[in-house]
Amino acid sequence: MFRKILPVRTWISGLLIIVGLGLVFYFVLGRGGKSALTDELLTRELILARSQTANLTTFFQARARSIVALSKLSSMKHRNEETVQDLDGFVEQWSKDGLIGGIILTNKDGLVELNSNISGTRDTGASVADRDYYLQVKDEIIKDEYFIGKPVISRMGGSKGQTIVPVAAPVYQNQLFGGVVAVSVILEPLTERFLSLMKISDSTEVYLINQNGDLLYSNLTPDSVGSNIFESPQANSFLGGQTLSNQMKAALAANQEGKLETAYLNSGGSLEVRLIAYSPVKLETQNWLLVIASPIQDVVNLTTPAYIRQAAVLILVSLSLLAFGIITTRNMKANTEKEEQASAKTPHTD
């Protein structure tokens, strides 16, 4: 029916125009949408990283304030039965979430004199004189301060053999350094609690590194925890290039957050573009960096179906408009023909 109204060439031209509009919509507007969604995803990653770094900082600050308050108790100076009760009370209060291994009190030489921990043992006599938190405070008179040490392997108590983050405060006797009281935060359950649910997609990678480049947490490659990502970036699945490695070093040194799009090798050995956001965890003497990386393919997977559907809708709407135009034209032509026939039948008088 339509072919009688419009020539075949007109039909083909109309269809080509409609399909062309659909393709233009998909490739031009679709790419623009992909770019906008990429920026949105990077921003979302950065906000997520920022919120979790704030949670980690708040956690350590709360434990640190408690350790400072504990260090000022008179029992810490006298080291008697009351001291043991205070240490046990601290462990009972803070170990319910499973993140605290125990607490120790040393003498001025760094030897452990009292120990309270989740396993109930009283390991004493070990030396922590080589630990960074002890070395930082033994020759200084600094009150109302706490020190967060670098992650180390615990030598005693309920956290023995596990990686811990010591939070310590100095104990003074008559204005003289008398030792250190330090609590051990077990790193693995801590990172699992705060970081395990961080993801934009199932392929999202989450890393926590310290200022030396030691990998403290990895959600997809837990076996790589403890390795240094700066020593051999080409051999590491994370930071697969020197340029990106240098960017992470600069971010750690400057305590800066940021976001970028770059490519590095995935676990299968192929180059993959990722959207990366990072945010610093500021812990007094320790600077960590939380990094989130999501494959850009996730953005493509999100945008492609949407824009295919929208392009299809555009084509259907255009075809509907074309059909409506043809029907309208046909009706107008039919009405015109009727008017001409009626006019021809009407007698004319001179």
Per residue in 27-64, pLDDT (tens digit) is: 555 554 556 677 778 888 899 899 999 999 999 999 99
Q: What is the pLDDT of residues 265-311, one digit of tens each?
A: 666 667 777 888 999 998 877 889 999 988 877 666 655 555 555 55
Q: For the residues 312-335, what does the mean pLDDT come to? A: 61
Asked whether the predicted pLDDT for residue 1 surpasses 50, the reply is no
Burial of 306-331, coded b for 16+ CB within 10 Å and e otherwise, reads ebeebbeebbeebeeebeeebeeeee
pTM for the model: 0.73
For domain 199-297, give the fold.
Beta-Lactamase (3.30.450)
Question: Does 101 score more than 60 pLDDT?
Answer: yes
Q: What is the pLDDT of residue 334?
A: 63
The residue-averaged pLDDT of 214-224 equals 85
Residue 140 pLDDT level (bands cut at 50, 70, 90): low
The answer to whether the CB of 34 falls within 8 A of the CB of 296 is no
- 123, HSE (Cβ side, Cα atoms, 13 Å): 17
User: What residue ranges do the domains of the chain occupy?
Assistant: 72-186, 199-297
Residue 113, pLDDT > 70, answer yes
Structure confidence at residue 199 (pLDDT): 74
d(CA 343, CA 350): 16
Cα–Cα distance measured from residue 20 to residue 172, given in angstroms and rounded to the nearest whole number: 80
The reply to whether domains 72-186 and 199-297 share a CATH topology is: yes
CATH code reported for the domain at 72-186: 3.30.450.20
- What is the structure's pLDDT at 109? 93
Number of Cβ within a 10 Å radius of residue 343: 9
Range with the poorest average pLDDT among 43-52, 122-131, 197-206, 229-238:
229-238
